[in-house]
């Protein structure tokens, strides 16, 4: 297993390198002069030239890329001009909020999706199967940001059960109950689509396993149905379900961007949107690379978990 983990880590290096190239090129090819956009009404020729020199924008593109890449490898992501603080400090501070939102949403979509898929497969063509399938199709069809706005309209504006936005109350609060109170709507909105996808694929994986001979043998021997479903079938189906969870983790992490904007959640997604609007190049580049790196590491963890369940994958 140690050799397998090292192999997966090595294979992630070219992926991360490609991400840095793509992010840098996209930011470099944005029309307009970044220095002029940053300075606004203060964009005199002298100020533009000085800012270009301070940001390193007066150097060739290839040289700028390798300077930026070299600094990142030493832990220096640069300094945000709009916030006047190190980029890495801002990313780590914002990422903690995103990690709470995405983490809770991922746990919800994993548990609810797998449970719905198992129940649906165990009651194939029954009322529970049809009800779950109908609910799942609705969940997959409705975009997360639209669902979030409808939840705000119903639960915050009409019923006044939950807060409209933010991570904590403006006055007072700041404790765990206050966080959970503010987390309910954005976490559910973000988890809705992923839950539907996990449920459908979990159902398919479970149905395939339930048709196997050893499942029929276990039932013929009088093994309790609950043990057959959750002790034998689900464990075998998890080999197919775990890769789906890895994909949905990326969806949840990327979907946090617009959910954070809808609910004004102070995470890295909202930070990136603000940085793009302000043309804060180093903050955008650092934020995207950091999130992409987290996604790659999570996928490696998923591969390792899949290898533990099915040792044949490591060969």
Q: What is the pLDDT of residues 5-35, one digit of tens each?
A: 888 888 888 988 999 999 889 888 877 777 7
Does residue 111 carry a pLDDT above 90?
yes
List the helix and strand counts (H, then E) for the chain: 13, 2
Does residue 315 carry a pLDDT above 60?
no
CA dihedral sign of residues 198, 199, 204, 207: positive
- Domain check: are 52 and 166 in the same one? no
- Domain check: are 43 and 190 in the same one? no
pLDDT per residue over 58-84, tens digit each?
Answer: 788 888 889 888 988 888 888 887 888
Six-digit token pair at 110? 């994993």
- Domain check: are 30 and 103 in the same one? no
> Cβ of 63: how many Cβ atoms within 10 Å?
10
- Tell me, yes or no, whether 153 lies in a domain: yes
Domain tally, the chain? 2
- Tell me, yes or no, whether 2 lies in a domain: no
- Tell me, yes or no, whether 92 lies in a domain: no
- The answer to whether the CB of 109 falls within 8 A of the CB of 248 is yes
Determine the pLDDT at residue 263. 92
Between 102-111, 142-151, 270-279, 305-314, the lowest mean confidence (pLDDT) is in: 305-314
Determine the pLDDT at residue 47. 81
- Domain check: are 59 and 194 in the same one? no
Tell which of 56, 87, 118 closes a domain: 87
**Which CATH number does the domain housing residue 126 bear?**
1.10.3720.10
pLDDT per residue over 150-169, tens digit each?
Answer: 999 999 999 989 998 888 88
CA distance 258 to 246: 20
- Tell me, yes or no, whether 3 lies in a domain: no
- Domain check: are 67 and 119 in the same one? no
- Tell me, yes or no, whether 135 lies in a domain: yes
- Domain check: are 174 and 51 in the same one? no
- Domain check: are 53 and 197 in the same one? no
- Domain check: are 176 and 304 in the same one? yes
Average pLDDT (112-129) is 91
- Domain check: are 77 and 149 in the same one? no
- Domain check: are 301 and 159 in the same one? yes
Tell which of 31, 54, 87 closes a domain: 87
Does residue 208 carry a pLDDT above 80?
yes
- Tell me, yes or no, whether 215 lies in a domain: yes
3-state helix, strand, coil in the chain (%, to 5): 80, 0, 20
- Tell me, yes or no, whether 80 lies in a domain: yes
pTM, entire model: 0.84
Determine the pLDDT at residue 306. 74
Residue/partner pairs of 71-79 with CB below 8 Å, 24 or more apart: 72/20, 72/286, 72/289, 77/282, 77/286, 77/290, 78/282, 78/283, 78/286, 79/282
State which residues form the domain around 81: 11-87
CA distance 284 to 27: 8
Between 39-43, 202-206, 292-296, 310-314, the lowest mean confidence (pLDDT) is in: 310-314
pLDDT above 70 coverage of the chain, percent? 96
- Domain check: are 68 and 202 in the same one? no
**Helices 234-263, 144-151: crossing angle, 10 deg rounding:** 60
Tell which of 87, 120, 145 closes a domain: 87
- Tell me, yes or no, whether 161 lies in a domain: yes
CA distance 93 to 104: 18
- Domain check: are 202 and 228 in the same one? yes
Q: DSSP characters for 58-80?
A: TS-HHHHHHHHHHHHHTT---EE
* Average pLDDT of every residue of the chain: 86
Listed residue (179, 195, 180, 165) closest to 259, CA to CA: 165
Binned at pLDDT 50, 70 and 90, residue 186 comes out as very high
């Amino acid at each position: 297993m140690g050799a397998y983990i090292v192999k997966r880590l090595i294979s992630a290096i070219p992926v991360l390198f490609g991400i840095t190239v793509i992010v840098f090129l996209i930011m470099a090819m944005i029309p307009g002069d970044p220095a002029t956009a940053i300075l606004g009404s203060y964009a005199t020729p002298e100020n533009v030239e000085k800012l270009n020199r301070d940001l390193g924008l007066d150097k060739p593109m290839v040289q700028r890329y390798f300077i930026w890449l070299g600094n990142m490898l030493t832990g220096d992501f640069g300094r945000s001009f709009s916030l006047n603080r190190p980029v890495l400090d801002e990313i780590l501070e914002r990422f903690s909020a995103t990690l709470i939102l995405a983490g809770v949403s991922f746990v919800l979509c994993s548990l609810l999706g797998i449970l719905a898929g198992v129940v649906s497969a165990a009651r194939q063509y029954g009322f529970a199967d049809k009800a779950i399938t109908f609910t799942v199709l609705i969940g997959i069809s409705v975009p997360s940001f639209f669902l979030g706005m409808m939840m705000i309209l119903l639960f915050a504006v009409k019923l006044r059960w939950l807060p409209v936005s933010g991570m904590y109350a403006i006055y007072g609060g700041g404790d765990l109950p206050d966080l959970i109170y503010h987390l309910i709507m954005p976490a559910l909105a973000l988890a809705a689509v992923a839950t539907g996808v996990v449920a459908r694929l979990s159902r398919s994986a479970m149905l395939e396993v339930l048709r196997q001979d050893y499942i029929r043998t276990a039932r013929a021997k009088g093994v309790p149905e609950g043990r057959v479903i959750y002790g034998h079938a689900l464990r075998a189906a998890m080999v197919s379900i775990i890769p789906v969870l890895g994909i949905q983790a990326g969806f949840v992490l990327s979907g946090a961007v617009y959910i954070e904007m809808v609910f004004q959640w102070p995470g890295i997604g909202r930070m990136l949107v603000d940085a793009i609007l302000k043309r804060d190049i180093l903050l955008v580049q650092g934020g995207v690379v950091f999130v992409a790196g987290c996604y790659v590491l999570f996928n490696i963890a998923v591969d390792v978990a899949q290898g533990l369940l099915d040792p044949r994958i490591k060969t």
